[in-house]
Amino acid sequence: MTHFMRPNRVCPWIVRSTLAMACMVGVGCKTKAIRGGVGTENPQLDEAAMGTGLDRRDLQDLMRANLEKLFASPLWVSWKRAEKPPVIAIWPIKNDTTEHLDDQLLTLLSDMETEFINSGTVTVVSRERQSELAAEVGVQNTAAYDPATMAKLSKQVGASHYVTGKLQATDERINKERRVQYTLFIQVLEVETSLIKFQHKTERSKAVVR
């Protein structure tokens, strides 16, 4: 009598478990890098929040919301009607949070500078030139947040107005939940008078819920 061997049947959960164990010990599985953003197969990769900290998307959203208000303000309208585009200087955003955001805030300033330049309404003093001038007069980075210092340096580079701001955060924790509320203030001040010609704030909340 001929005996036919029935093929062994392996339960799917055993296969999955075996593959998982193989990945845990580094057998047959490799870490895969993926590309995300506009124009890639993962356009939404940058949309998801990785935690309660501020990321590039958060800062860009906060900045653009502030600039939209500025571009619709009476100050901006008067600048558009001026015979000669006003010269403005952009000074650092003061970080009043506990996060280390130096690189992100530098990128934010560059993005803001680009928006102003591309508007065609104002002339923008190069931030590199501002840094050079600050170094020439022996001003430290922390001194750039002093209104008197910013007004003095802005006048020296020929600016009629200067832009500055600050970033703040409120951290709340209840049981295992955490919520951080961020606020970005933007101000435009007149160099000669130090009067605030525009001020606005935008807010963003980030939370972790378990």
Which residue spans within the chain are E strands per DSSP?
87-95, 123-124, 161-174, 177-190, 196-208
CA angle 196/201/202 to nearest 5° reads 160
Q: What's the pLDDT tens digit per position in 78-112?
A: 999 999 999 999 998 899 988 888 888 888 999 99
Set out the domains of the chain in order of their start, with CATH numbers. 56-208 (3.40.50.10610)
Q: What's the pLDDT tens digit per position in 122-179?
A: 999 988 888 787 777 666 555 567 888 888 888 988 999 999 999 998 877 777 777 7
Whether pTM > 0.75 for this model: the answer is: no
CB 121 within 8 A of CB 80: yes
CB contact burial 73-99 (16+ within 10 A = b; e otherwise): beebeebeeeeeeebbbbbbbbbebee
